[in-house]
Amino acid sequence: MLEEAIATALQNNYDILLSKNDSAVAALDYSFRHGAFLPTLNGTLGTSWNNNINQKQTLADGTKREQKNLKSSSLNASLGLNWTLFDGLRMFATRDKAEEFIKLGSLTIKNQVINTVTNVVNNYYNIVGQKQQLRAIQEQMAVGEERVKLAQNRLDIGVGAKPDVLQSKVDLNAFRAGILVQETLIAQLKEQLNQLMNVRFDTKYDVQDTIPINENIGLGDIQNNIENTNPELLIAKKNIDIANITLKEFRADQFPVVRFNSIYNFSRTDNKAVINPFSPLFNQSQGLNYGFTVAIPILNNFNTRRLIRQAQLDINFRQLVYDNQRSLVNLNVLRAFIAYEQQKRALALEEENILLAKENVSIILQTLRLGAATMIQLREAQQSLEQAYTRLITARYNTKVSETELVRLKGELVR
């Protein structure tokens, strides 16, 4: 069933999995969005051992001192806190940007899901159409077998010709060859669908026999509010939002940055012996320092101004991309709807035509049994039936493709 194929593709398709992985990166950043408001806290710890093998000193009064194997050890530790209290509101913009990236990731996943479902639907119904074509060939082969029998019977009773028998057998073999080609094509399309679903290439399954058509789609229904439902337009609009936040981040560099700083220090020195009697054998100190710093931007080679200008240009670019994408979506909607309407009319015509072609073959076949028709007439009727089947199946599939494209553009192929 189509629903099972779609469900399998949504779970396993590589393109969807890749989009989800990219979105997971944005989700990780979003989970740490409040980190911009928190202070940084760093600790350091160091220790050292000294051994002066020989130390000599000559003082200002001429006194000389000498000491060997002077050993000492020292321990230093500090804990520093740095807290940005104001940075031109950059931290708020950074938080908002992380949230927008989450939304962009969700839209990207939805867009990939819709595209994948579109491919699955089109591939699935292509298999259904080719399966219908196979049944049509098998139906025509049954007529071909009857034609061979009639040609042989006419030859046996002396009212037929050998070329009619040969031509009937050639046409019958052509139908048999067509069945082989059709079966190969169906197998290839199934493997293609397996790849979309990311299942084993030898997975076996069957498809339904019909292609359902929704004939009640209106152009106004598709165009109405499409700016808020088409995933490609939503992605383009979200990129504009992100570009505006980036501009806020760069503008924040024009303001002073106020920080609170604090550091706790601990130091200890242990001398086993000293050469100077005024030097301590043991020294330990600890203390807490804190204060505020203000960094005022004065001149940075106009780099901030350049970045702001670039951000403004990027906003203009994103707006142009959105306007262009909206124009393309509207154009694609019109094209898809025109194709949808034309294919519906073609389908109605071919559904009527196939009945005429079938009736024509049946009448000529019965007439031939009575000896009132020729083999050439039956062969021409068969060819007309074959062409009618091909046009009918093609019209059905093309109508379904156009219908799917309209729903895809609307963004309502999946909920």
pLDDT (tens place) for every residue of the chain, 415 residues total:
777 777 777 777 667 676 767 667 666 666 777 777 888 999 999 998 887 767 676 666 667 776 677 777 888 999 999 999 998 888 889 888 888 888 888 888 888 888 888 988 999 999 999 999 999 999 888 888 888 888 788 787 777 778 888 888 888 888 899 899 999 999 999 888 888 888 877 778 788 888 999 989 899 999 999 999 999 999 999 999 999 999 999 999 899 999 999 999 999 888 776 666 667 777 888 889 999 999 998 888 888 899 999 999 999 999 999 999 999 999 999 999 999 999 999 999 999 999 999 898 888 888 878 777 778 888 888 889 999 999 999 999 999 999 999 999 998 877 6
- Which residues fall within 8 angstroms of residue 215, CB to CB, at 6 or more apart? 344
Residue 274 neighbours by CB distance under 10 Å = 15
| Tally of domains within the chain | 2
Do 236 and 268 fall within a single domain? no
Residue-range definition of the domain harbouring residue 95: 2-6+12-38+87-255+297-410
With respect to residue 386, please indicate whether it lies within any of the assigned structural domains: yes
Rounded CA separation 195/199 (Å): 6
Listed residue (261, 232, 252, 241) closest to 42, CA to CA = 261
Looking at this protein, which amino acid is placed at residue 410?
K
For residues 133 and 155, membership in a common domain is answered with yes
Helix (H) or strand (E) holding 6, with range, is: helix 2-12
User: How do strand 257-271 and strand 64-86 relate by DSSP bridges?
Assistant: antiparallel
Q: 54: part of which helix (H) or strand (E)?
A: strand 40-58
| Residues 205, 139 share a domain | yes
CATH number at residue 361: 1.20.1600.10
- Same domain? For 72 and 82 the reply is yes
Find residue 329's DSSP bridge partners: none
54: β partners: 68
